[in-house]
Amino acid sequence: MLADLLWQNDRDLADACLVHPFVRGLADGSLPTARYRDYVAQDAFFLRAFAAAYALAGARCRDAAGQQLYAQLAQGVDDELRLHRQQAERLGIDLARVVPSDATLAYTEFLTATAATRPEPCAAAAMLPCLRLYAWLGERLLPQLAPSSPFGDWVRTYADPGFASLWRALAERLEGAERHGTARDELAALHRRAMHLEHRFFAAAWGGTWPGRPPRALTIAGSDPSGGAGIQADLKTFHRHGVYGQSVLTLLTAQNTRGVQGVFVQPVDVVRTQLRSVADDLGAEATKTGAIGSAELVAAIADELQVRPLGALVVDPVLVSKHGHALAGDDVAAALRQRLLPLATVVTPNRFEAKALTGVAVTERTSALAAAQALLATGVRAVVVKDVPGLAGDLLVAADGAVVELRSPRLSTPHRHGSGCTFSAAIAARLAYGDALVAAVTAASDFVGRAIASAPGFGEVGPLNHWA
């Protein structure tokens, strides 16, 4: 069963929830009442939004059985809310005045957006972790439940077999999803994202207003004062994915939606000192590079990352624009190929950059595969060749043999400024969470598609919607 495979892939996160002090405190009764009070308030807000997401998913179903199931799931939310209203009355909580935390909003927005914009199997994959995780936690906590625990009703509610039947019914909606055009990697990415958000929800309840300890990501790139590309786009993307963002500035630009008016490359010592400052203190689970500006800077960054690794490395070459305009010299391309790519997890060249790095002109799928294989020979684990002629999207080629076409709609809009930066930053954000490589790239591609489709329309060649 596909749902079981997704669950096994994400058991690390389920186990992390089970051993979390908030969850342990429910069973042994040691959880401070104030923290449980905050949790009840936030969970009531979450459940009301969850019911709305069920309604959206049901409306997109093409069969009566699916519509009936989502109506049944919404009724199950009402049953949960009765428990919360009882607890709220006991704890003195005014549920009408609850202000959602960052963790609550991140989760509810994720579920609502998925249910409203993605095929119904995607909604099922995103919703399933909440039901299955809570049933699994209830089942394991029940034998450990201290007779004196004031949270016994919570444990018994989710340990009830009737609650488990809800996730099993939803899991059946995933069977056959691939036959109807929904890729397993996409479902896996949504499932894992929801599991991360579940853990974050417990962490937020344990820490009060702070939404738990997020993963960290670093961008090593240039500055775009208009905010659409460079480190500005990267940091917006990190934040949207719930990742703590850090930055090392390689160059300053004067640019806007009309073009670039100036580029000012930073001295090597300035970049090296920034990088050491981050690496020696906060660290990172993932790093991405963007525009670097000189071969000397590429070498310095590679030297530092060899000594001070900062998680998975995503390299956006930023050598040639998607229209074929040169952005850096051949010496930078050579330095990237020789020094940085051997350290990288994934590199994301457009078709012109692929040629600059390999000499292979990318004109269709076969030549894109050849360019990707040449890049894999440098030691990078995966390559995403963007804007391949004749394909409906980009082409992902991994060292383990995986070849995936990332299909996305071709939108007729000039507002794509910063799409490459945003794509690589989104991959880094997903890798920071621990996503598998293919799942991270697939999720990033989907995010960029939504961001382009909902661009705010600023300027001539304007920015994306980084809140997509």
Report the alpha-carbon distance of residue 251 to residue 230 in Å, rounded: 10
Please state at what angle helix 102-117 crosses helix 33-59, rounded to 10 degrees.
Answer: 10
Question: Nearest-CA neighbor of 32 among 155, 207, 152?
Answer: 207
Q: What does the H/E/C string look like for 359-416? A: CCCCCCHHHHHHHHHHHHCCCCCEEEEECCCCCCEEEEEECCCCEEEEECCCCCCCCC
Task: Give the total residue count for the chain.
Answer: 468
Report the alpha-carbon distance of residue 60 to residue 202 in Å, rounded: 30
Quote the Cα angle for 114-120-123, to 5°.
35
The identity of residue 124, as a single letter, is A
CATH number of 2-207: 1.20.910.10
Q: Where in the chain is the domain with CATH 1.20.910.10?
A: 2-207
Q: How far is CA 236 from CA 202, 434, 459, in A?
A: 24, 20, 19
The owner of tokens 């428990």 is 83
Q: Is 97 exposed, middle or buried (0-12, 13-18, 19+ CB in 10 A)?
A: exposed
Q: Where in the chain is the domain with CATH 3.40.1190.20?
A: 216-453
Single pTM value for the model:
0.62
Q: Is 69 exposed, middle or buried (0-12, 13-18, 19+ CB in 10 A)?
A: buried
Q: Does domain 216-453 have CATH number 3.40.1190.20?
A: yes
Tens digit of pLDDT per residue, the chain (468 long)?
889 999 988 888 888 888 888 898 899 898 888 888 889 999 999 999 999 999 999 998 888 999 999 998 988 888 788 888 888 888 898 988 888 888 899 899 999 999 998 888 889 999 999 999 999 999 999 999 998 889 998 999 999 998 899 899 999 888 866 655 567 788 888 999 999 899 889 988 887 433 346 789 999 999 999 999 999 999 999 988 878 999 999 999 999 999 999 999 999 999 999 999 999 999 999 999 999 999 999 999 999 999 988 999 999 999 987 766 788 889 999 999 999 999 999 999 999 999 999 999 999 999 999 999 999 999 999 999 999 999 888 999 999 898 999 877 677 788 889 999 999 999 999 888 777 788 789 888 888 988 888 888 999 998 998 877
CA atoms within 13 A on the CB side of 71: 8
